[in-house]
Amino acid sequence: MEEAERRKATNETLFRAVNEQIERLQKPFALTDTEPLHIVCECDSLTCAQRITVPVEAYELTRADPTQFFVCPGHEDKEVEDVIDTGGDYLIVRKHPGVPERIARDTDPRNG
Ligand SMILES: [Zn+2]
């Protein structure tokens, strides 16, 4: 396991934690249940501050699997993840089996 790979996987889990907070804070202010969430890109670059607009339904579906993350197109990293879906202005990626997947699962904010 390369240190760089571990760091990338860890960075993405940080942004996921941020987005869980965003959802929690934004939800009570949404006018309707269909109002999209404005989350941050969950790519592995700590300096990335790109915003992504995601329908709540898509967010919930993706978040139900702890190995899945949202990134801007072009921000996916084939070394640690595969693109499994696209919502237009964002991609949904899934962690490769092994250490990237394990880190994603161990830090799942919805498990515990
Ligand atoms: Zn990014």
Tens of pLDDT, residue by residue over 52-71, are 999 988 999 999 999 999 99
Distance CA 11, CA 109 (A): 14
**pLDDT for residue 91:** 97
Q: From the CA of 35, how far away is ligand 1's center (Å)?
A: 23
What confidence tier does 7 reach under pLDDT thresholds 50, 70, 90? confident
Q: From the CA of 15, how far away is ligand 1's center (Å)?
A: 10
Q: From the CA of 64, how far away is ligand 1's center (Å)?
A: 21
Distance CA 77, CA 8 (A): 9
pTM of the predicted model, to two decimals?
0.86
Tokens, residue 72: 């801007």
Q: What is the pLDDT of residues 68-109, one digit of tens each?
A: 999 999 999 998 899 999 988 899 999 999 988 999 999 999
Tokens, residue 17: 């934690």
Q: What is the pLDDT of residues 18-46, one digit of tens each?
A: 999 999 988 777 666 678 899 999 998 98
Q: Which of 100, 29, 5, 18 is nearest to 63 (CA)?
A: 18
Top pLDDT among 8 and 41 is at 41
Q: From the CA of 89, how far away is ligand 1's center (Å)?
A: 12
Q: From the CA of 41, how far away is ligand 1's center (Å)?
A: 5
